[in-house]
Structure 1
Amino acid sequence: MKLFVAIGLLFANPLTTITPSTVAMDKEIPAYAKWSRLALKETTKKYPNAKIIDYLYMGTVPQDDKMIATFQLWLKENSKEFGVRVKVTYDTVSQQYVNVEFEEFARPV
């Protein structure tokens, strides 16, 4: 009987309750997340037959009153694999994107 009471108290105690929402709140969303989603979306549009197989955030640098977030993606289309550097330029005040640039590159030897 004492075992059942102890188990009941354990599960009734709000300090030991972990819900998905509390776990999600513990994880901080990076500042570049919005631009990452845009880079992935625009890459999918530009290369509709390619599959994105790898992704790397390279950093963000200021340029006048704008910022440039750079992402490096690795794509596979049929048997060809290649890299694409995606630069997302956005306005720092309005937080709206201004431009997206793509630069393909080959696998380093």
Structure 2
Amino acid sequence: MEILMAFVIGILFMSATYLMLSKSLLRIIVGTGLLSHGAHMLILTMGGLKRGAAPLLGEHASSYSDPIPQALILTAIVISFGVTAFFLVLAYRAYQELGTDNMDRMRGTEGND
């Protein structure tokens, strides 16, 4: 299962890098979202894909699942949601002011006659 997750994470990182290198601001935002999802899956996979009971005191189980990766991912999801919301508001405001989402036209390097 870890091998499959490694391929999925690699594809997410690959597509996120491709989208973040594009000229459209919305594609860059989608790329950062994919990158954060890939990082969440990487944390979960590195924590170990084990099946077990919840780590509760007083319960006797043969194996327990580790709660630390889930707690880290929950924190990372909240942070990535906030960053994505900020990027969307920033992109909307930039589009209102400049009338484009093309990064080259925002910089002013593409033929400002």
Which TM-score applies when normalising by structure 2? 0.25
Higher strand share: 1
Which has the higher Rg, Structure 1 or Structure 2?
Answer: 1
Higher helix share: 2
